Every structure is written in structure tokens, then in C-alpha cells.
């Protein structure tokens, strides 16, 4: 589910002057939306060390793989995961054809907007909503539905399209790594085919370098046309211990840098950093309730508990969003 990095041409689209290449990238500030501090320094020092020929920690470009969680790491996951908001809208649209949903959980909670009950149902409840709302159509039809929804949906707090809410500091990290010979990949518990239509436009990460959860898909001939038909069955969950499996399955390599924000990223961070050699583990800690959201151990979405405790023991970089980021969101293009 992912592959090789697009280089300077794509970078110019994503980050403008940040993608001027090796020497220029090193001479100017590669992370201008970051405040000076330990978090910013740890990223720059890591990149400098592993890309400097002659360094004992030098890593050849072919082995420079960096992986990023999506929800809460590259864009917001509050007040709920973006794909859950999409699923809720789909459930409401499909409800007239499924009258029993009004009395059956988790559909009843979805129709009533009862997020507390949905969250209490855990991954099972979300899986039920996803399989009911994301299946029964071809892959191309699903892509069209996702694209249309993202064009019209708005974040309930910020009032802007979700795809306008990419974190500018993380876009800069993606650009910086790309300019220094890294392959970057998104590794998310979100749906693979939900993310693929827009990740290149928003993050500069091509669809073949996106790893996500999947539902079962079957080849069929429909009206004389070959199609991939989406079935209401979970195929693979790319979360928690599934993330290292998904990375290995698609990339065939172990990352040397991993960026996450929740306990769902714990195993990905462990697999990346606890393997010898110079490695970088980064956790984005949501501490800015004014500009974005503040949450960690008690949150049902983006729950950060065990991974936060593990950060100190494993010397992972913890990014304090309020302290370390000058700005949160990427500028909206006119």
C-alpha cells in the first residue's frame, strides 16, 4: 500500500521555497513554523546526522523511510475522527433505506449524534458504521463519494474544509525530509481508500505511499465492465500492532523515523526506534485548546496514555503543540 518518494518537483508544490534542495534547505530554516526548542532541534539534528556522509549514523537514501500517522498527527481528530464524521453523514443518508437502524446500536447513536455512546462502543462500533456506510459499491464510486463529501463538509469548530486543516509544522517536516532523500509514508488507522483521493494534494504523499485499514474487495464483471466491489467485511485494521505489519507488508522496510500522537501509534514507534542505530520517534501532544484542542489520557479519540509514558523511557521527542508551534494550520490558498 505505498512506495517511492516524489522529489523536488512535487516539493515545490507542497512547500514552495522549502523544497529548493539539499544545500539551500540546510542553509535556511527548514522548519519556520516551529519555535526554537528541543523538539525542533531533535528533528534537525537527526536529519543532519543520518544524511551526512562519513557520519557513523549515516543512512543511505534507499533506507531513509519516515512514517506518519494521519489523524491527530497531520490534521485534527477532534471532536471526532474525520472519517467518522464522513461515516455519520453516510449513515444519515442511508437511514431511510434501513428503518431498523433507529433502534439498533451503534446506528441509533449515529443518527442521534450521540458521540459518547459511539465512543463507548470502541473499535467494534466504528467498524460496524464503516462497513455499513463504506460498502455496497465499487471502489471508483466510493472515491467519488469521498471527494464530493470533502468538497462540501466543514469542520464543526473551524468552519473550513477538513483538507484546509493540515498542520503547517508537519507539512514542513514532510517537505524537509523529502528534500533530504527520505521516503515519507502515511500509516493510519483510517481507511486506505478514504485517504488516497486527497493525500497527495494536501500532504504531497502519493497514494501508493498511504497505508490504512481496508475492507474486503472483490473483482466482479458488472454490465460487462470489470469492477472492484466493496464488501461489508473488515479486511485489515491498520492500528496499534497492525501498523508495523502494514508498513512491512507495503514498504518491505523498517522506518528510521516515526511520527504519531496516540496509543494507536505506540507499536509503530516501538518498532521504528527499538531496533538499533540512530532512530527518531516523535509524539505530537495536543496542548493548545485555544488554537486547536487540548487532550491526551482521557480522550476517547486520540487517546494518549501508554505512548506518553513510553516517550520518556525511549527518549522520544514530545512536541508540545502550544509551546513548539508558531502556527497550527497551513495557510489557505485564495
Beta strand 210-222 pairing with 183-191: parallel
pLDDT at 4 over 60: no
333 pLDDT tier (thresholds 50, 70, 90): low
**What tens digit of pLDDT does each residue of 106-164 get?**
999 999 999 889 988 888 898 899 999 999 999 999 999 999 999 999 999 999 999 99
CATH 3.40.50.1000 spans which residues of the chain? 8-78+161-224+235-324
- Residue 217: strand pairing partners: 230
Q: Distance between CA 242 and CA 198 in Å, rounded?
A: 23
* Ordered alpha helix ranges (H), 135-241: 139-152, 168-179, 192-195, 199-203
- State the CB neighbour count (10 A cutoff) for residue 234: 15
- State the CB neighbour count (10 A cutoff) for residue 177: 24
Q: What is the largest CA-CA distance in the chain?
A: 67
Q: Distance between CA 31 and CA 145 in Å, rounded?
A: 35
Whether CATH 3.40.50.1000 fits 8-78+161-224+235-324 = yes
DSSP 128-150: HHHHHHH-SSBHHHHHHHHHHHH
**Residue 73 · residue 284 · CB < 8 Å:** yes
Mean pLDDT computed over every residue of the chain: 91
Amino acid at each position: 500500500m505505498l512506495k517511492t518518494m516524489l522529489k523536488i518537483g512535487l516539493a515545490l508544490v507542497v512547500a514552495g521555497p522549502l523544497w529548493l534542495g539539499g544545500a539551500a534547505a540546510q542553509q535556511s530554516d527548514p522548519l519556520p513554523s516551529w519555535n526554537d526548542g528541543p523538539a525542533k532541534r531533535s528533528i534537525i539534528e537527526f536529519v543532519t546526522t543520518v544524511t551526512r556522509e562519513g557520519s557513523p549514523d549515516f543512512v543511505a537514501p534507499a533506507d531513509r523511510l519516515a512514517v506518519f500517522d494521519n489523524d491527530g498527527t497531520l490534521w485534527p481528530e477532534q471532536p471526532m475522527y474525520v472519517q467518522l464524521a464522513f461515516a455519520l453523514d453516510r449513515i444519515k443518508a442511508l437511514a431511510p433505506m434501513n428503518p431498523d437502524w433507529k433502534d439498533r446500536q451503534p446506528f441509533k447513536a449515529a443518527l442521534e449524534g450521540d458521540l459518547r455512546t459511539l465512543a463507548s462502543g470502541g473499535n467494534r462500533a466504528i467498524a460496524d458504521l464503516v462497513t455499513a456506510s463504506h460498502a455496497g459499491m465499487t471502489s471508483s464510486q466510493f472515491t467519488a463519494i469521498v471527494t464530493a463529501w470533502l468538497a462540501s463538509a466543514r469542520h464543526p469548530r473551524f468552519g473550513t474544509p477538513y483538507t484546509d486543516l493540515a498542520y503547517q509544522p508537519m507539512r514542513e517536516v514532510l517537505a524537509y525530509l523529502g528534500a533530504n532523500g527520505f521516503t515519507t509514508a502515511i500509516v493510519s488507522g483510517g481507511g486506505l481508500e478514504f485517504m488516497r483521493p486527497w493525500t497527495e494534494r494536501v500532504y504531497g504523499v502519493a497514494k501508493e505511499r498511504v497505508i490504512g485499514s481496508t475492507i474486503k474487495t472483490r473483482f466482479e464483471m458488472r454490465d460487462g465492465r470489470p469492477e472492484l466491489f466493496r464488501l461489508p467485511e473488515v479486511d485489515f485494521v491498520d492500528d496499534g500492532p497492525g501498523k508495523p505489519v502494514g508498513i512491512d507488508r507495503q514498504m518491505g522496510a523498517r522506518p528510521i523515523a516515526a511520527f504519531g500522537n496516540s496509543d494507536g501509534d505506540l507499536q509503530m514507534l516501538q518498532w521504528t526506534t527499538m531496533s538499533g542505530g540512530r532512530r527518531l520517534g516523535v509524539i505530537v501532544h495536543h496542548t493548545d485548546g485555544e488554537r486547536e484542542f487540548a487532550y491526551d489520557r482521557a480522550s476517547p479519540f486520540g487517546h494518549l496514555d501508554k505512548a506518553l509514558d513510553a516517550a520518556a523511557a525511549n527518549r522520544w521527542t514530545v512536541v508540545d503543540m502550544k509551546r513548539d508551534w508558531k502556527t497550527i494550520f497551513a495557510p489557505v490558498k485564495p
